[in-house]
Amino acid sequence: MSKSITYSDAGVSIDAANAAVEKIKRLARGTFNARTLSEIGSFGGMFDGAFPGMSEPVLVASADGVGTKLKVAFMTGIHDTVGRDLVNHCTNDILVQGARPLFFLDYVATGALSPEVIVSVVDGIANGCRENGCVLLGGETAEMPGFYAEGEYDVAGFIVGVVDRAKVIDGGRVEPGDVLLGLPSAGLHTNGYSLARKLFFEVAGYNVETRLEALGETVGEALLRPHLSYLRPLEGLLDTGSVKALAHITGGGLLENIPRVLPEGTAVEIAKSSWPVPPLFRLMQELGNVSEAEMHRTFNMGVGMVVVCSPADAAAVRAHLDSVNQPSYEIGIVKQGAREVALT
């Protein structure tokens, strides 16, 4: 063979990757703070590990993705929202234990690298990091020809936060009589998209540009609504002791996520009529004749985070949430039982 084979002949463009990395560096630097000790491009990201204001700092870590919500991003050509979704999802996961985020790492993998698309995704990640006071410390962009369909990619995130051991929220103080407060979601957040896509695009035959009068927006707009972060609304409550448990309502809905934070001997009863279920969920249920049980096990049904507190603290907790313009609904009560959720 006379021709010299290069990496680009195999489908990997180092030049395109380098162009994307230079733009990503600028985005990441916009999230840096005084505790950031390394530049983007180092083999590892460095972060100051001193916590002089804490007696026993505990690091809390989580990793996640945004699931098949990415398919909607591919269909619409809108890529900056899924990065923000990713950061907010991960932030909520460590918030449940009372942790505030410190830094975030991302992984973006694609078949043929499009610098514009990758930069758009990371722009959303950087925006999410800034909103949550989190440093985008590093990441990886992988180009893998033949592994992903043309125009598609996957994205995952890894977050590290910190909480003082004495202020860890672990649900251990939850007892019968405690109150559950539901904080509204903005939509599906990042769960249930495989079923949602089947209902809208296969069963109903809609496309992302179909405008639905019941929702007042297009299917694409409804499905790309952001995964909310609850850090800012709850931050003022984390150190007060008034929050006994938090449950991030992700895959599995209310039925499977609340038991994760309940101690042995307790259960929860939730009144389905106690919060306004967004029209999006009712529409999906009608499109596929989906059972009530399946809806509540697959989707968040309009509740993105659940706060558990004592009845004596409930008014103060809700007053704080009102003061930061965070709606809340009293949706249920803790009872004796076997760590399960009953819907009434």
CA angle at 13 for the pair 75 and 117, rounded to the nearest 5°: 25
Is a pLDDT exceeding 60 seen at residue 12?
A: no
- Cα(269)–Cα(336) distance, integer angstroms: 10
pLDDT tens digit string along 195-205?
Answer: 999 999 999 99
DSSP 8-state secondary structure symbol assigned to residue 236: T
In the chain, the amino acid numbered 40 is I
- Cα(261)–Cα(172) distance, integer angstroms: 8
Q: What is the pLDDT averaged over residues 223-241?
A: 96
Pick the CATH number of 10-167 from 3.40.1280.10, 2.60.40.1180, 1.10.3720.10, 3.30.1330.10: 3.30.1330.10
* 10-167 and 179-343 share one fold: no
Residue of 325, 72, 46, 90 lying closest to 188 (CA atoms): 72
* Cβ atoms < 10 Å from Cβ of 264: 7
Is a pLDDT exceeding 90 seen at residue 15?
A: no
Topology of domain 179-343, CATH: Phosphoribosyl-aminoimidazole Synthetase; Chain A, domain 2 (3.90.650)
- The more confident residue out of 331 and 41 is 331
pLDDT band at 6 (very low <50, low <70, confident <90, very high): very low
Is a pLDDT exceeding 70 seen at residue 272?
A: yes
CA angle at 182 for the pair 177 and 188, rounded to the nearest 5°: 145
pTM (2 decimals)?
A: 0.92
pLDDT tens digit string along 315-325?
Answer: 999 999 999 99
Is a pLDDT exceeding 50 seen at residue 23?
A: yes
pLDDT band at 5 (very low <50, low <70, confident <90, very high): very low
pLDDT band at 24 (very low <50, low <70, confident <90, very high): confident
Among 42-51, 72-81, 136-145, the range with the most confident prediction by mean pLDDT is 72-81
- The more confident residue out of 91 and 144 is 91
Domain ranges of the chain: 10-167, 179-343
